[in-house]
Copies of this chain bind each other. A is one copy, B any other.
Amino acid sequence: MDKNAFRSMSYGVYITTSVDNGRPVGCVSNSNTQITSSPATVSVSLNHDNYTTDCIRRCGMFAYTILSEQSDPTLIGRFGFFSSKDKDKFEGVDYEKKSFMPVVKSGCGYVVCRVVNEVETSTHTIFIGEVIDAGVFSKETPMTYSYYHNVIKGTSPKNAPTFIAEG
């Protein structure tokens, strides 16, 4: 099996968020996918080790911001390489609450969901959410995972589904 095939799959880059007893939490994700059109449902796969995963399970809701090529690239380091358990990732970040969920305002738009199903795998939980709110922030070009790797020169946090150990 040549796992390099996975590198040709295309994704966006998202900040997936929830709340921990009212405190905003979040992490970087790339597996956000629209599943059905009507009613609109989406899925996102998050590692069991992400604190945001526990918070979404407890709260039953999540949101995500769709990052653009113009989004502040430091958001990815802030939300992708630390844990919301130890750090207030939203400190100094321009965000607002939409339908009770925090959404980062630097991006193309946002989606808010209530969890309607959870699917367990060995390392990740797939949350399936019915969309209860969505909005457009800008018409900027969406950031793709490929753009992030090739232009921003990022590397995957080790909890990402698409993480491939080097060497």
In the complex, A15→B43 CA distance in Å?
Answer: 20
Q: A117-B119, A144-B10 are in contact. Are A161 and B45 (CB under 8 A)?
A: no
CB-based contact B9/A12 at 8 Å:
yes
In the complex, A87→B110 CA distance in Å?
Answer: 40
By a CB distance below 8 angstroms, the chain B residues around A145 are 10
Residue of chain B at shortest CB distance from A135: B2
The smallest beta-carbon distance between A157 and chain B, in angstroms, is: 11
Does A155 make an interface contact (CB < 8 A)? no
CB-based contact A37/B123 at 8 Å:
yes
CB-based contact B8/A109 at 8 Å:
yes
> Interface size bucket, A side?
35 or more
Contact digits for A34-45, partner B, Cβ 8 Å, 1 yes 0 no:
111111110101
CB-based contact B36/A4 at 8 Å:
no
Does A100 make an interface contact (CB < 8 A)? no
CB-based contact A1/B35 at 8 Å:
no
Does A56 make an interface contact (CB < 8 A)? no
CB-based contact B163/A124 at 8 Å:
no
Does A21 make an interface contact (CB < 8 A)? no
